[in-house]
Amino acid sequence: MSIEMKTQYGQIDISTEVVAAIAGGAAIDCYGIVGMASQKQLKDGITELLGKDNFSRGIVVRREEEELNIDMYIIVSYGTKISEVAHNVQTKVKYQLDQMLGLSVDSVNIYVQGVRVTNP
C-alpha cells in the first residue's frame, strides 16, 4: 500500500514502509524510549525488541479516506514518566513526517508494550 500525493509537477507515491521507517527513527530519538516492539507479542507476553531494519513490524500506518493514522508499539525505559514519553513521541513523529514528507498526520496512537531497565 502506498500514500499518493498530487502536486503541480505530477504524482508522488510514498510507501507505508518509508513512513514507518521515518516514524520509527523519530521515536527512537526520543528520551525514554528503549526501542520498538513487535505488534504481535509472543503468547507468554515477552516483547521482542526490534532493530532499525524492522520498524515496520512495530508500526502500523493506516490511510482512511483523507486521514493518516499511525499506531506505534514501543518499549519505554524504567523510571520515566510514560505519559510524557508518549506525548513526546507523538509530537516528534508528527513533526518529522510533516517536515520530511509533507504529510499531515491525524493521529499517532502509542501502545506501550513493556518497560525495560537500561544500564547507564
Domain range for residue 104?
2-116
The answer to which of 42-46, 82-86, 90-94 has the lowest mean pLDDT is: 42-46
pLDDT recorded at residue 70? 94
Nearest to 33, CA basis, from 85, 84, 72: 85
Count of beta carbons in the 10 Å neighbourhood of residue 113: 20
User: Which tops the pLDDT comparison, 115 or 66?
Assistant: 115
CATH number of 29's domain: 3.30.70.1350
Question: Angle, nearest 10°, between helix axes 16-28 and 82-101?
Answer: 130
The model carries a pTM of 0.81
- Got the DSSP string for 64-114? ETTEEEEEEEEEEETTS-HHHHHHHHHHHHHHHHHHHH----SEEEEEEEE
pLDDT recorded at residue 43? 39
DSSP structure class, residue 53: G
16-73 pLDDT per residue, tens: 889 998 999 899 889 999 888 876 664 345 455 555 556 667 889 998 877 899 999 9
Grid cell in block for residue 1: 500500500
Model confidence at 9, pLDDT cuts 50, 70, 90, reads: very high
